Amino acid sequence: MAPSLSFALWTPLALPVLFALLSLTVPSPRLRRLGPIASSLAVLASGVILVVAALHDQVPTLGGVLRADALSAYLLTVVGAIGLVSTWGGLGGGGHSQTPARWAGSYDGLISVFLAAMSLAVVADNIGLMWASIEATTITTAFLVGAHRTGKSLEASWKYVILGSVGVAIALLGILLIYAASRATGEATLSWLVLSQPGLPLDPALVRAGGALAVLGFATKAGLAPMHSWLPDAHSQAPAPVSGLMSGVLLAVALYAILRVQTITDAVIGPDFLRAMLSVAGLLSLFVAAALLIRQRDFKRMLAYSSIEHMGLMAIGAAVGAAALPAVLLYMLGHGLVKATLFVVSGRILEVEGTPTIANVRALLVRRPGLAIPWLVAMAALVGFPPFSIFFSEVGIILAGWSAGMGVVVGIALVLLLVIFASLTRLTVALTIGSPHDALDHTPPILPKQVTPRATAPGDESDADREATVLSRREAEAGIDGAGVVNGVAHVADGGSGPEPFPMTSNIRVAAPFPDTVAVTVVDVVVAPDRSTHGPLLPLVLALATCAVVPFIANPVGVLLVRAAAVLGGAH
């Protein structure tokens, strides 16, 4: 039956490429935007088919190059699920809304190509082909990061290209050394199935050097410190769906490559060498995230540093070894779905608020509950509250590390996790909790078209008006001062209206005792909360529900995780 399933190996590669070509040729923007969603569905459907095959002890192959064991099938499903949340949820804004119209088709096409490259990376048996697939994402995501064509986005794109290229170049050197070591078997090969067999007469020195360089190079793509500096800029400047794909898919696939290389290295020189290397990288990543989250002011960069934190803990889980691998694999799914959800919501917040600065948003739960509620639920999952899968993954890694004699490492990790938890909680509270009046000093003033002023004749002002703030005509044309009006108004007492609802009731008093001033009478601003989700809600609900339910499904999820982890332990 396995040969008949070979179609599930090429469909996640061919169909996204086909949809990418259609995105470049179809004139309708609505149809173009469906291309990435269709690509994600193709990848997800193929992954589910291969997972079913893996659960029935089948390993489909194609041409001796593509192969789907339980680990590959699971990761392909993860790629498809996260891609679907990012692309479907991204229909609400944060992607096309700020992308120049002439680049819209290229934007959709590049996302489909990105998904095809990630799919190839996880189903390739040849580690050289795996490397080439991950390198292809450097090209596609470089254009996606700079999709807004602003100075900051282009700078972030170039930084990503430079550091990402350095990383994959280092990884290539490591793979070439492993290839050289394989000549001792009688025939040089890069087949992971062959190289991971125990007892091969590989040169330990070459494998040690090659494994270290390959892990270091792929760690750059995984966002592990100290090769992490591209990640905050790229994630914060990229369109929200792209940020979700990079954080949930790209980082996970890069860690997958590390796990594959680790299996080869451990079979030759034992686990101690890479265990130390991954432990240091994991702890350093947690420290960097903890230090930079304490004073973070941008909610998209906050999510980016959170990705560094979670990848650091996954690296520690990889260092622990076989006992922690099921938790690490579950972690990939949970973190990817939650982070894709958060980046999608962050894009919507940025779309309606016009700023990524936390201090300029404030009181989101009262003003925009349609955005604040999914954000709060997803943040609860991200910081590790049960019943979400991240909680069980973190507990599993910590317990496995303690049992494996890595108590010092997991102890330090726990302290840093507490600091990160406190920082993320503080920033989330600052963003969402509070009364509408808390936002007065943190948001731009209202525009004149949103308030209709009425001039008063000289001598008709009341005492309250005479005591009010005096504005110059230039200031009045720019907007009313901080006396009680903030960005976005729905209803004004004298009939004015604005484009965005803002839950605020306030008074404005401005007098005009001098010729260069204007007078504004008392105006009551009464606005209802904005309950719109500003985009599809269903993909966000499905993502968070999956994270809450998956940990409790022993069969087939638990069985699949155990089998996928066993692949890395030498069971093929």
Number of domains observed in the structure of the chain: 2
- Is residue 497 located within the same domain as residue 559? no
**Residues 387-410, mean pLDDT to the nearest whole number:** 96
Helix (H, G, I), strand (E, B) or coil at 505: strand
Same domain, 64 and 177: yes
Per the model's pLDDT, the better-predicted residue between 506 and 25 turns out to be: 25
Q: Is the pLDDT of residue 458 over 60?
A: no
Q: Are residues 407 and 487 in the same domain?
A: no
Kindly state the average pLDDT of the residues 93-115.
73
pLDDT at 535 over 50: yes
Average pLDDT, stretch 508-517? 45
454 lies in the same domain as 364: no
Residue 508 lies in a domain: yes
What is the pLDDT confidence band of residue 63, given thresholds at 50, 70 and 90? Answer: confident
The parent domain of residue 493 ranges over 444-536
| Mean pLDDT to the nearest integer, 443-462 | 42
Is the pLDDT reported for residue 183 higher than 80? Answer: yes
Q: Could you report the per-residue pLDDT of 371-397, keeping only the tens digit for each?
A: 999 999 999 999 999 999 999 999 999
Average confidence (pLDDT) over 407-427:
96
Please tell me the predicted confidence (pLDDT) of residue 4: 73
pLDDT over threshold 70, residue 400 = yes
Distances (CA, A) of 54 to 133, 138, 293: 23, 30, 40
Q: Mean pLDDT throughout 13-21?
A: 95
**C-alpha–C-alpha distance, residues 16 and 114, integer Å:** 9
pLDDT of 489 higher than 60: no
DSSP code string of 114-138: HHHHHHHHHHBSBHHHHHHHHHHHH
Residue 439 placed within a domain: no
- Taking 70 as the threshold, does the pLDDT of residue 506 lie above it? no
Q: Same domain, yes or no, for 127 and 220?
A: yes
pLDDT given for residue 64 in this prediction: 85
Q: For the chain, what percent of residues have pLDDT higher than 90?
A: 67
What is the structure's pLDDT at 32? 85
Measure the N-to-C terminal CA separation of the chain; round to a whole number of Å.
18
* Cα–Cα distance, 570 to 478 (Å, whole number): 68
Q: What pLDDT is recorded for position 518?
A: 47
Q: Are residues 83 and 145 in the same domain?
A: yes
Whether 339 maps to a domain, the answer reads yes
Most confident of the ranges 5-9, 15-19, 105-109:
15-19
Mean pLDDT of the chain: 84
How large is the average pLDDT for residues 416-425? 97
**Residue whose structure tokens are 């601003």:** 525
Q: Which positions ≥6 away from 458 have C-beta within 8 Å?
A: none
Look at residue 197 in the predicted model and tell me its pLDDT.
87
* Model confidence at 497: pLDDT above 50: no
Count the neighbouring beta carbons within 10 Å of the beta carbon of residue 516. Answer: 11
**Peptide bond preceding 556: is omega within 30 degrees of 0, i.e. cis?**
yes
250 and 358 inside one domain: yes
3-state class of 434 per DSSP? coil
The answer to whether the CB of 272 falls within 8 A of the CB of 364 is no
Say if residue 214 is in the same domain as residue 319. Answer: yes
Stretch 434-460: mean pLDDT: 47
d(CA 545, CA 388): 8
The verdict on 137 and 69 lying in the same domain is: yes
What is the SS3 assignment for 56?
Answer: coil
Q: Does 341 fall in a domain?
A: yes
Q: Please tell me whether residues 152 and 295 are part of one structural domain.
A: yes
pLDDT band at 508 (very low <50, low <70, confident <90, very high): very low
The alpha carbon of residue 490 and the mean position of all alpha carbons in its chain are separated, in whole angstroms, by: 33
Q: Kindly tell me if the per-residue pLDDT of 446 is higher than 50.
A: no
For residue 182, being part of any structural domain is answered with yes
Q: What is the pLDDT of residue 500?
A: 44
Contact between residue 445 and residue 485 where contact means Cβ atoms under 8 Å apart: yes
Confidence grade of residue 275 (pLDDT, cut at 50, 70, 90): very high
The reply to whether 202 falls in a domain is yes
pLDDT of 46: 96
pLDDT of residue 11: 94
Pair 213, 237 in one domain: yes
Angle at 478 between CA 477 and CA 483, to 5 degrees: 100
Asked whether residue 463 falls in the same domain as residue 541, the answer is no
Structural tokens at position 232? 């905050």
Per-residue pLDDT, 521: 45
Q: What is the DSSP letter of 534?
A: S
Q: Which residue has the higher pLDDT, 493 or 193?
A: 193
In this structure, the number of other CB atoms found within 10 A of the CB of residue 234 comes to 29
Overall average pLDDT of the 195-205 stretch: 89
The mean pLDDT of 432-436, rounded to a whole number, is 77
Residue 136 lies in a domain: yes
By mean pLDDT, which of 174-183, 312-321, 431-440, 465-474 is the weakest?
Answer: 465-474
Bond into 551 cis (ω within 30): no
Task: Specify the pLDDT at position 479.
Answer: 40
AA identity, residue 161: V
